[in-house]
Chain A
Amino acid sequence: GAVVSQHPSRVICKSGTSVKIECRSLDFQATTMFWYRQFPKQSLMLMATSNEGSKATYEQGVEKDKFLINHASLTLSTLTVTSAHPEDSSFYICSARVGVYNSPLHFGNGTRLTVT
């Protein structure tokens, strides 16, 4: 089946630094990937849609200058949390679509970010 890999699975960083999270589609090409964030005991919140070769589309209320998304190839999208603060501590999850737009999304196992 379709596999989406995220790296790292956990990261701890100091306030003010930047953190990059990678999302890879291992056995398929993904022209579209999605980034979500999940706080404890809450549901997943869509942050942005990442399109290969073009700018990401951000959901309302998500700061595009703080959460930089790059989708430079058909198998890799990255999310960079810039100038991280403790309130950015969260579970970040990526997903990728296999095939046409009604195809299921497959999710990575998430990255637990802790900002100290």
Chain B
Amino acid sequence: DAKTTQPTSMDCAEGRAANLPCNHSTISGNEYVYWYRQIHSQGPQYIIHGLKNNETNEMASLIITEDRKSSTLILPHATLRDTAVYYCIVRVAGYNQGGKLIFGQGTELSVKP
């Protein structure tokens, strides 16, 4: 499994962009990067995923460096409800792995008024 490294915690002011970094220097060419978040006492919520191109959806943008060794999740206008633990996951490749996700420790994002 490619491991990921994320800062333990980050603060962000409400209304500002939240930029959450993730390092995945040992990622393989066919491994995707996924981002999930978990609000306290709930199941994780899917945010976005990508392989090598930048991706954007209604929740966030994902910027992947050209060498694919790191990525950044961007929440363009953070709100108090975005306070959560954010997980960057490099998915185990290969059909025989079933598509399982191995979670690291994540980044605890606190959005402050």
Contact = CB atoms under 8 A, between A and B. Distances in A.
20 contacts: A6-B43, A32-B99, A34-B101, A44-B44, A44-B103, A46-B102, A51-B98, A57-B98, A91-B41, A93-B43, A95-B101, A100-B99, A101-B95, A101-B99, A102-B91, A102-B99, A104-B49, A107-B45, A107-B46, A109-B42
Interface residues of B, number: 25
Interface residues of A, number: 28
Nearest to A97: B99
Contacts of A104: 34, 46, 49
Chain B interface SS verdict (over half): loop
Given A43-B87, A43-B106, A101-B95, A93 B44 contact: yes
Interface string B17-60: 00000000000000010101010011111100100000000000
Interface of A: 4, 6, 32, 34, 36, 43-46, 49, 51, 57, 91, 93, 95, 97, 100-110, 112
Q: Which of B32, B42, B99 gathers most chain A CB within 10 Å?
A: B99
Contacts, number: 62
A101 B97 contact: yes
Contacts of B41: 91, 110, 112
